[in-house]
Structure 1
Amino acid sequence: MELKSYQHKVIQDLEQYLGYVQEYKKINVAFNNYWEDKIGPYNPITGEGMEPYKNNIPNAANVCIKVPTAGGKTFIACNALHTIFNAFGSELPKAVVWLVPWSNLLNQTVSNLSNPEHPYRQRLDTLFNHRVEVYEKKDLLQGSNFNPTVVQDQLTIIVMSFASLRASNKEDRKVFQENGQLAPFVAQYKDHSHVLDNTDETALINVIRSLNPVLVVDESHNAESKLSVDMLKNLNPSFILDLTATPKENSNIISLVPAIELKKEHMVKLPVIVYNHHDKTEVINSALHLQRKLEVLAIDQHKKGGKYIRPIVLFQAQPKTNNDNTTFDKLKEQLLKIGIPEEQIKIKTADRDELKGIDLMDKSCPVRYIITINALKEGWDCPFAYILASLADKSSAVDVEQILGRVLRQPYVMKHAASLLNVSYVLTASAKFNDTLQNIVEGLQASGFSEKDYRQRDIMPEEEKKSSGGDPMESFLFPEQQESDTNQEDEIDKDRVSFNPEFEAETPSEDAVVVEIESMAEEQNKEMEAEIEKQQSQPIDENQFMEMGDKVKRYKLIEQHREVAKEIQLPQFYLETPQGDIFGTGEELLNQEALLKNFKLSNEDTKIDFDQISSDLYKVDIEKVGKDEYTPRFTKIEDQLVKDPMVEYILAKPKENQVKDIAHQLIQLVGNMYPISDQEIRKYIERILASLNPEQLKDILVRKYSYAEKIKAKVRLHADAYAEEQFNDMVKIGKVVTKPTWQFADAIVPGILGGSISNSLYEREGSMNNFETTIITDIASMNNIAFWHRNLGRSKGFSINGFKSNHYPDFIVVTKSGNIILLETKGDDRDNPDSASKRRLGNKWADLAGKNYHYFMVYDKISPDDAYNRTKAKELLAKL
């Protein structure tokens, strides 16, 4: 299971933030600068920019990732753990407390993280060399395979519920009580400053506190009370990662996933089709017919080689009241009377769980109808759930926001051939339909989506709403005009249910209302697919900015340049693809992945100069500097690792095992080098290590961060060289061409602003260093220049895509005669192979783009091959 593109972006954002922590040495300063560089400074008056860091838990960096329902929060967290532990020194035990709000979510999390066949556990095993152990509270209290030795040698994940740390009952108080099973940990304590007042040093809470764990807080919006915050503080964490679809006001968001990204990846069934009926009987009738229609489509798809789907209806029953409205028992009775087989119906409420032990995704499972109230609100996932049918009283606004997310998850994370299987459905009979729609919007928002993600149809006449108690004021003023018994007409009428359960499942539905719902779904699905198609080329950064709305300060095109600028389409490299591709257009935007398709790193040479290894690398830890005041502590790596007992432990093994262990550590530090596989990197590193003697292997363990950087640079050198050779070959035979596609945006988000210089394309341009400012000031004042633009990096601006990672030239300059210049500035100390490679790429782009396109790399005084010093560049530019 690989990261989706947006999930990969989340991990990149986390890595970037941790890089800022390394650079600025303070958690809050790092956070503030991280966002300032992305979207500009915070303005408390206008609300633009990201609010400053909130120091919620003083002894830890506390950051939040916003991910909509079905966005893969758990998988993101598994990958994030690797990123976080790489940012800390190896003295910190790899201990994680994974907190969840409910017991059913706890059981699900433990099961998935423990199961060696599950993608979550497989990812953890890959990232942590199969040294992973998952514990529940009961395991720890018994000391079951939980001791200082195993904790030192593995990733330890402790899954707990919020409640189990709140000492509110006898069972939970055990966490705070003396425990002889955990006595071995006491001997490992550095000191006793972490021991909570009035608790024994052997108490589980103090053992956890001694580990300075990383906290993963799932559904973190449920952990905002003072009690919950105190609970988090009690764990003495080193880092807190919040995961939620709805961050609270005090969250420190470092990455957010736009809903459109889930739609692109077919993670969710959207839009939601909402249909308001006359009464409950119609709701049930439509639900039964619609379920059959969807199942007929699913059966046909399966026969043609598609995935197995058995669409399920969630009936949301009315809670029991004095009036005994439609309860779950009564509803089941009604369904049985209609003829629905009992094995197809299950009840799931707070008190009754007939789903326990049932795998709803199993082909042999007969369940098609689940009756609930709100017990499915969290922690229950079944992608086969398609229809939410609410049987609330007609006079009520339907309260669906808590369980709407249960029908949003897309089966098998793929687009299905039948369009009706790519959307979800909510069926209601509410006289207060506008209020119901508001609840649906709130439900979508609680899942990380918006009011744009549903479509509705209301067939209940206004007169009927009025007589159903829809207007409380009229009911108060004119009670004699109201129906004496509004419930009577709302009873389920078996005779009006046209569904025949005795027909075979393959029999299609001809119910008129369902036909209308189908038509709505097909039309709205087509609209959404068109929107997704339009969004495919949109960078994730821009979608993030759209999600953030008014927080992002944008600067518009200057009107006098608009007409010329909007006519410009900058060419990018495209690769010819087979025309036979079912979705293909015959060409795709070139990236290095395509060029490295047949690259075998394991075959490349391993000659690396390790003589000049740096000794001054540092990693971050957290230390207390005053009352409730903490700051990152930076420990010199080699000082830290010389004392690391793991060094001697590894060196005591046979050389073959040493190589495997050290290779694993280096692979983690080298990190993801997609599209080069982890397996190829492993083989390459093992070849390097196999030729080294014991002293050299020990030196790598002591200074592994520096060695990893050297290896990474060598791998990148090999990959770039191979990709460039492939690129040149494909250009030669016409398989790679340029195509004008990139356009200037109407507005930009430069982040930190540069100085105001004449002839700029936008109201304000992005920041520039002194040399860049000098160069563009000279150029902007030239008579032949129409306008210039500070090209934005990090996926915001124009890139020359080619054999290297995307190259973002510093400036785009347009002359009055229509010449377009990409200009890259370099200090005289930056004449290196990387700069030479960018020149070759830039010049190849200019050659293929056409006679009006030019690429300049400009230094101050020197003039390397195919580059210019400042004076020569000005002279040439003046003639364009």
Structure 2
Amino acid sequence: MTGFAPKQYQQGALDSVRSYFGQCHNLGSPGVAFTATTEALWGKGLAYHRIDGFAADMPYFCLRIPTGGGKTWLAAKCVALVNTHLLRSEHSVVLWLVPSRAIRDQTLKLLKDRGSPLHAALADAGPVTALDLDEAKSLTRATLDTSTVVIVATVQAFNREEKDGLKVYQSSGTLMQHFEHLAGPQRENLLTDEGGAVPCSLANVLRLRRPFLVVDEAHNNRTDLAFSTLAAFNPSGILELTATPDTEKTPSNVLHSVSAVELKAEQMIKLPILLETEGDWQKCLAYAADRREQLQAAADAERRTGAPALRPLVLVQAQARSKDRDTLHWERVLAELTGNQGLGTEHVAVATGERNDLPDIEKKYPRGIADEACPVRFIITQQALAEGWDCPSAYILASLAGTQSETAVEQLLGRVLRQPEAKARATQALNQSYAYVMSSDFTATASALRDRLVAGAGFEQKAVEEFVRAGRQEQARFDLSSRPGRIVVQPVVVPLADAPQLRQLPRPLQGKVEWNRKTKELTIRQPLTEEESGQLAATAATETERAAIVQAGEISRTSAVEVRLSPAERGETLSVPGIGLWTQGELQLFDDAEVLDYPFDLSGYDAHPTQDDLQSLGIADRVASRGAIDVTDEGRVKFGFIAELQRDLGFSYRPEHWDEVKLSAWLCRNLPDVGITHASKWAFVQKWLRTLLREPGCDLARANRQKFLLRGLLESRIRALRKDAVRQAFQHVLFGDGRRERVKVGGEFQIAFDPQAYAPNADYDGDYDFRHHYYGRIGAFDSREEFECACWLDQQAARGRMRFWVRNLVNKPGASFFLQKADGRFYPDFICMLPEGEILVVEYKGGQGWTDAQDDRDIGGLWAELSNGRCRFVMVRDRQWRQIEDALG
């Protein structure tokens, strides 16, 4: 299997990393760069948190990716970005830190496997050598000079208190070659032993090479005290990847956050989770087995039409064995499955501390448990499966241990969430996950399950409310935590002559009822199950009162429960006409300005470096040659972190002294642009470089040192030239004469809002009760005026002037409407569905933003003009609601 194209959310994360690295160089301070980058990306600059024990201004950031989002693949893709855009070096050393040996072994195996997507992602960095820590202890200088070296290890492996960890800091004859011909600043910066000598140790090799740290599953790694020992290696930066970053004790700098909704929209995970509770453990297993058979039948039907083979698995969480009491341990569960459920022994595997069948399965079948020939359908575990175990065909969790074991539930839920092949199936049932939990309290179980998804899998609270649903309609009435504020339970009052004996009831049931001694009334405040109604009725004194309680219990779970569904939940559709464009004889959605037909030949443009280019090169040269960035009170030179990093890497990775032709060839190779012919790019680069080399003080040695910066300047120049060409074509095609023949609105091009794809970066959490928003969630507003505009729209919907409206999101597939411009996309604030099906788009602009929004007004006006009356567009400022009023008609 080779590499694959990144999903949109993955590309977004990679773009954020690239932007941050660029700002680190532009601004000189990674801390300032983090705040500036988050401001540009999300509209709000975030504070930068330093990490104790490390350099104060070291680049340190986090990618928050929920379970099932491909964190490891993203980390591998980031290595090339680290080399090119942060270190500006052909090669580097990466310390890839994982929380356990099992995950270390699995990660290293995949990084080395040339057929794995992980290896393909890592190969973006060019020649790569992946090693474990033992192999790194005999690392040669030639390997470091000719490839990017990735060392996969646990944090604990660097602990000086451990025997293996101590070897990292001890002198080794095999490493002596790394310490020959060192520059003075390099030698001064090395670690010394207790006697003051400089050991030829792996620790000092790493310190010379300024390793970049990739911390996988950071929520497990950062809590270890041994993490602080890594500061001894003088790292060039830290990238954390986790579903649940720390926000309090040691706050992570979250640069980019991905939601579970985005993973669902891009077919990475199976949602929603359909939950059923059952007090009888045998029935719980039977329900899970029946569901598995239904899924298998659906998978077999799909395969007959050409779909890949699929064997859905059930993960059964058994109870621990106890000496003091009888429990539902793995042997009892195995006996039930192979006895009463009629499964063959070959259909059930056990993975517990007492017995583990998985290693033998891995040896027997080429693809292990996922192999088509493997007969296993059920896997019985207890606390957790082996770390690193992965099988996306696991669909069903059957928990006989409840949801109290947090770690086990988190891990097992994560096992059933991944979508096989990261591609949705034709049958909806195969795009969902299933949980059967032995419990008599659905409400508490659903709430606990949601809490574990938030705390362990990185789901957002608002999203998880919708992604855990009742599997049986009769239990849906008890799911009060699924739609906070949108489920209203009317109290049911029962007059009684005597006080009922409520203390005899289970504590959860006591919390659902209330006795008023003065009025002698029993009030049922939450829905009761039939069993709970019977238990409550048994506390009454007479048969008549008992019958009244049973009747009241039925009312409490039926007519007393009012569920306020959003338009999306009611099945209403929202689809907005997009702009279509005739291109090369074909009508296609206009979602990329690059589809415009425009001439672009680099050979016709001025190839001289600009004054800004020369200034950037001058600044970079001062940094690389240890130019002063600041001066201490004592008069010593003080370097900024980026300046010091570039200096140290300049010592370690000495550039090759290429001639003009070889350097031009390297620049062309590293300027990928499919829309430019090689000949025109080669001519442009050669002329640009030749002109640069004629500048005073610039020679080939300097150009070689700064080739990554040269590549960046050329890339920016070509991008700017292309943007000008695109802008001219855009104006001609969309606004020139004859545009009605070239541009169409609507028809087959509709941008549909997915009922389950709404994933705002931040939710509105105010007190205003929006009742006509298309989704149950509402994205946060950018300003007070924008919030007031939303309130006004909701009030118009309440008066029947529109059916519903939606807070449009930016760059969220399935929940975003945009209009393509020459230099980006315009995402209006609000989309309104009018009574007769027309679409009204509303954009609110503050006074300062109005002047810069002319191109937004132009494209919005064109879209409405060409829609033949189906669409209307309004841009409002200064609370001029009258403009929207006029558009409503």
- 8 Å Cα contact 2:318-2:382 kept in structure 1: yes
Distance 2:332 2:216 in 1: 36
Distance 1:374 1:241 in 2: 30
Does the alignment pair 1:4 with 2:7?
yes
Does the alignment pair 1:427 with 2:430?
no
Distance 1:112 1:616 in 2: 40
- 8 Å Cα contact 2:272-2:432 kept in structure 1: yes
Q: 1:626 to 1:454 in 2, by over 3 A?
A: farther
1:535 Cα deviation from its structure 2 partner: 9.7
1:353 Cα deviation from its structure 2 partner: 4.1
Amino acid corresponding to residue 63 of structure 2 in structure 1: I
- 8 Å Cα contact 2:170-2:199 kept in structure 1: no
Q: Identify the residue that residue 256 of structure 2 maps to in structure 1.
A: 255
Question: What CA deviation, in whole Å up to 9, does each residue of 1:639-666 have, x standing for no partner?
Answer: 9979963222x559xx6x76654434x3
Q: Identify the residue that residue 362 of structure 1 maps to in structure 2.
A: 371
Question: What CA deviation, in whole Å up to 9, does each residue of 1:266-306 have, x standing for no partner?
Answer: 11111111111132211221222211211111111111111
Superposed, 1:235-254 pairs within 5 Å as 235-249=233-247, 250-254=251-255
- 8 Å Cα contact 1:178-1:202 kept in structure 2: yes
Distance 2:817 2:301 in 1: 46
Distance 2:855 2:403 in 1: 71
Does the alignment pair 1:134 with 2:130?
yes
Distance 2:201 2:393 in 1: 44
Structure 1: runs of 5+ lacking an equivalent? 42-48, 475-523, 538-570, 581-585, 671-675, 765-790, 811-817, 856-880
Superposed, 1:733-812 pairs within 5 Å as 734-737=741-744, 801-806=820-825
Q: Identify the residue that residue 273 of structure 1 maps to in structure 2.
A: 274
Q: Identify the residue that residue 18 of structure 1 maps to in structure 2.
A: 21
SS at match of 2:821: coil
Amino acid corresponding to residue 104 of structure 1 in structure 2: A
Distance 2:865 2:310 in 1: 52
Does the alignment pair 1:195 with 2:191?
yes
Does the alignment pair 1:412 with 2:421?
yes
- 8 Å Cα contact 1:399-1:439 kept in structure 2: no
- 8 Å Cα contact 1:113-1:121 kept in structure 2: yes
Q: Identify the residue that residue 382 of structure 1 maps to in structure 2.
A: 391
Q: Identify the residue that residue 208 of structure 2 maps to in structure 1.
A: 210
Question: What CA deviation, in whole Å up to 9, does each residue of 1:183-239 have, x standing for no partner?
Answer: 222226511534165496223233223221111101100123351432332442110
Q: Identify the residue that residue 335 of structure 1 maps to in structure 2.
A: 337
Question: What CA deviation, in whole Å up to 9, does each residue of 1:663-700 have, x standing for no partner?
Answer: 34x33xx7xxxxx55x9687864565689889898775
Question: What CA deviation, in whole Å up to 9, does each residue of 1:752-786 have, x standing for no partner?
Answer: x9xx9xxx77789xxxxxxxxxxxxxxxxxxxxxx
Distance 2:387 2:702 in 1: 50
Q: Identify the residue that residue 516 of structure 2 maps to in structure 1.
A: none
* Count of aligned residue pairs for this structure pair: 687
Q: 1:310 to 1:794 in 2, by over 3 A?
A: closer
- 8 Å Cα contact 1:432-1:470 kept in structure 2: no
Distance 2:571 2:189 in 1: 55
Amino acid corresponding to residue 805 of structure 1 in structure 2: G
- 8 Å Cα contact 1:315-1:388 kept in structure 2: yes
Question: What CA deviation, in whole Å up to 9, does each residue of 1:395-425 have, x standing for no partner?
Answer: 9999623321111001111221111100101
- 8 Å Cα contact 1:572-1:741 kept in structure 2: yes
Q: Identify the residue that residue 30 of structure 1 maps to in structure 2.
A: 33
Match of 1:402 among 411, 424, 427: 411
SS at match of 2:104: helix
- 8 Å Cα contact 1:398-1:436 kept in structure 2: no
Superposed, 1:65-84 pairs within 5 Å as 65-84=63-82
Superposed, 1:143-182 pairs within 5 Å as 143=138, 146-182=139-175
TM-score by length of 2: 0.65
Q: Identify the residue that residue 558 of structure 2 maps to in structure 1.
A: none
Q: 1:67 to 1:139 in 2, by over 3 A?
A: same
Amino acid corresponding to residue 203 of structure 1 in structure 2: S
SS at match of 1:70: coil
Q: 1:208 to 1:600 in 2, by over 3 A?
A: farther
Distance 1:447 1:821 in 2: 36
- 8 Å Cα contact 1:431-1:470 kept in structure 2: no
Q: 1:292 to 1:471 in 2, by over 3 A?
A: same
1:171 Cα deviation from its structure 2 partner: 3.6
Q: 1:809 to 1:329 in 2, by over 3 A?
A: closer
1:604 Cα deviation from its structure 2 partner: 6.0
Distance 2:296 2:42 in 1: 47
Amino acid corresponding to residue 422 of structure 2 in structure 1: V
Q: Identify the residue that residue 614 of structure 1 maps to in structure 2.
A: 614
Q: Identify the residue that residue 469 of structure 2 maps to in structure 1.
A: 455
Amino acid corresponding to residue 291 of structure 1 in structure 2: R
Distance 2:81 2:861 in 1: 39
SS at match of 1:242: strand
Distance 1:300 1:454 in 2: 27
Superposed, 1:439-838 pairs within 5 Å as 439-445=448-454, 446-449=456-459, 450-456=464-470, 573-575=579-581, 588=589, 590-595=591-596, 605=603, 608-610=606-608, 612=610, 614-617=614-617, 618=619, 631-634=640-643, 645-648=654-657, 650-651=658-659, 661-664=666-669, 666-667=670-671, 677=674, 685=681, 701-704=704-707, 705-706=709-710, 708-714=712-718, 717-718=721-722, 721=725, 725=729, 728=732, 732=739, 734-737=741-744, 801-806=820-825
Distance 1:192 1:819 in 2: 63
Distance 1:89 1:290 in 2: 52
Amino acid corresponding to residue 417 of structure 1 in structure 2: A
Distance 2:170 2:289 in 1: 54
TM-score by length of 1: 0.65
Stretch deviating more after TM superposition (413-422 or 174-183): 174-183
Q: 1:729 to 1:62 in 2, by over 3 A?
A: closer
- 8 Å Cα contact 2:125-2:148 kept in structure 1: yes
Amino acid corresponding to residue 801 of structure 1 in structure 2: Q
Q: Identify the residue that residue 114 of structure 1 maps to in structure 2.
A: 112
Q: 1:527 to 1:327 in 2, by over 3 A?
A: farther
Distance 1:70 1:331 in 2: 28
Distance 2:60 2:245 in 1: 13
- 8 Å Cα contact 2:54-2:228 kept in structure 1: no
Question: What CA deviation, in whole Å up to 9, does each residue of 1:525-582 have, x standing for no partner?
Answer: x999979998999xxxxxxxxxxxxxxxxxxxxxxxxxxxxxxxxx97444799x9xx
Amino acid corresponding to residue 164 of structure 1 in structure 2: A
Distance 1:87 1:658 in 2: 18
Amino acid corresponding to residue 734 of structure 1 in structure 2: E
1:797 Cα deviation from its structure 2 partner: 12
Question: What CA deviation, in whole Å up to 9, does each residue of 1:696-735 have, x standing for no partner?
Answer: 9877534432454234433553476368548845764634
- Note the aligned Cα RMSD (angstroms): 5.4
Distance 1:819 1:396 in 2: 49
- 8 Å Cα contact 1:573-1:737 kept in structure 2: yes
Q: Identify the residue that residue 490 of structure 1 maps to in structure 2.
A: none
1:248 Cα deviation from its structure 2 partner: 0.8
1:737 Cα deviation from its structure 2 partner: 3.5
Structure 2: runs of 5+ lacking an equivalent? 479-502, 512-562, 694-698, 754-763, 765-769, 771-777, 790-807, 830-840, 867-871, 876-889
1:447 Cα deviation from its structure 2 partner: 0.9
Q: 1:611 to 1:200 in 2, by over 3 A?
A: closer
Amino acid corresponding to residue 115 of structure 1 in structure 2: D
- 8 Å Cα contact 1:275-1:427 kept in structure 2: yes
- 8 Å Cα contact 1:662-1:701 kept in structure 2: no
1:798 Cα deviation from its structure 2 partner: 10
- 8 Å Cα contact 1:390-1:427 kept in structure 2: yes
- 8 Å Cα contact 2:62-2:252 kept in structure 1: yes
Match of 1:229 among 216, 227, 230: 227
SS at match of 2:168: helix
Stretch deviating more after TM superposition (205-214 or 840-849): 840-849
Distance 1:122 1:698 in 2: 33
Distance 1:797 1:326 in 2: 48
Distance 1:30 1:218 in 2: 23
Distance 1:394 1:469 in 2: 19
Distance 2:421 2:412 in 1: 21
Q: 1:340 to 1:699 in 2, by over 3 A?
A: same
SS at match of 1:318: coil
SS at match of 2:238: strand
